[in-house]
Structure formats: structure tokens, C-alpha cells
Amino acid sequence: AQSVAQPEDQVNVAEGNPLTVKCTYSVSGNPYLFWYVQYPNRGLQFLLKYITGDNLVKGSYGFEAEFNKSQTSFHLKKPSALVSDSALYFCAVRDPTKGSARQLTFGSGTQLTVLP
Amino acid sequence: DSGVTQTPKHLITATGQRVTLRCSPRSGDLSVYWYQQSLDQGLQFLIQYYNGEERAKGNILERFSAQQFPDLHSELNLSSLELGDSALYFCASAPSATLLEQYFGPGTRLTVT
């Protein structure tokens, strides 16, 4: 079964500093990986995805993520954090070899707080 | 704004009752997904419809059911409600069934008292 873990419930970073939100996954095949962001009282917004190709994926709002197959990780990064980046971040995984499992499995979420 | 609409925004009802949540996907999207978000269970996939047909089932209770209509809007029916059903219910839409990207609605907050 596919699974995804976000080991940190909360990440605090100062504005202007680089940020990293961690995600590790477990699937039997090559994964499809996603990051979503949720602002208060809003639905989830798609940030970026990795399907195949370059391990460094660039997404919306200056975010990027690095796929590391050997470490089964897909950490979200941004070079310089903004206060407006404060939100709940979800990593999600899908195993494309499971034709019947047309669903994403989401991590538990990481609350990012960027301090001014 | 994702283009996905959900009604109502808030719903307060009593245990044992039945409610219907409605979702209109983005224009042109054929897939609709329903999710439940609660503090203790996190974000859980419930069910997917593609062009009117059920495609995938997740952790959906037997008391819950859904359907997608010919105009592609979808409804999630929750019956015999329990306190533990209180949660945010999201719908998401996607252009196809292959799930490369989803667009989430703002959610319906259900409170069961």
C-alpha cells in the first residue's frame, strides 16, 4: 500500500531564510508525488508535482521540490520564505502501477509559520 | 479561485439526520473526488467519479453515498449522522481520470450536534 509521511507537524522559519518541509513516501513502483498548500478556511491548492524526468521540480510561488529515489523523499523547498507562505502544506503520493488505485494518499500535513 | 464550487459552506445538523453536499467541478473537468478532512483522521479520500461513473473508492462509510449527474455536478449524501462525522468535506475536480492534478473547492464544514 502507498503511504506518505510528513515527520514535522510544525516548521518555523524567519522571513528571508530558506525553508524546507519534509516528505517521505512508500510505494511499490515509481511514484507520482505532489505538494499542496492549504490556507485558513480554504481548499487545497496545487503547488507542484513530480511524474518523471528532472529530479528538481519547480512550482508555483517560488517553491521547488527535489525527488530523491534512494531516500524515498520529496522535500519542499523555497530559497527565501515570505510571511505569506505561512500555511498548512500537504505532500501526497500515488502509485501509478496500481491501475485501480486512482487516488492520492495525503500526508498528515505540516504547518509552516514564517516569522517576520 | 479554483473554479470548483461547493454548497453549502456551512451545515449544522443533529445526529441521525441526513444531509447532501453539492459540488460543481471546473468547466470541462470530468472527474470529481470527495475528501473528508478532520483533526484526528487528516485528509482522507472518499470516492471518485469520472463522467458519471464511480471510478475509485477510498475510506467511505456505508452510510455515505455519492453520485455524479449528467451535467457533471456531484452530490455526497451523508446519512444517520454521528458526532464523528463532523469535518470539512472537500470536492476536487480534474480533467481526466489519471489524477495528475486536482483542483479543490473551498469545502463544506459539517457540524453534527
Q: ∠ CA B60-A72-B93 to the nearest 5 degrees? A: 35
**Contact, A112 vs A13, CB < 8 A?**
yes
Whether A43 and B43 lie within 8 Å, measured CB to CB: no
pLDDT digits (tens, 9 = 90+) for B38-69: 988 888 999 999 999 998 888 899 999 999 99
C-alpha cell at B53: 461513473
The percentage of chain B sitting over the pLDDT mark of 90, rounded to a whole number, equals: 79
> Residue B78: enclosing H or E segment and its boundaries?
strand B74-78
Chain A residues within 8 A of B106 when measuring between CB atoms: 41-43
Test B4 with A43 for CB contact under 8 angstroms.
Answer: yes
Stretch 67-96 of chain B: residues touching chain A, C-beta under 8 Å? 90, 92
| Buried residues in A69-84 as b, exposed as e (16+ CB within 10 A) | eeebbbbbebeebeee
Query: For residue B93, what are the contacts with CB-CB under 8 A and spacing of at least 6?
Result: B3, B4, B23, B25, B26, B29, B31, B32, B33, B102, B103, B105
Alpha-carbon separation of residue B75 from A89, B57, B82, B101, B107 (angstroms)? 27, 15, 19, 21, 13
- Report the SS3 class of residue A89: strand
Cα–Cα dist A68/A91, whole Å: 14
Quick: pLDDT tens for A70-103. Answer: 999 999 999 999 999 999 999 999 877 665 456 7
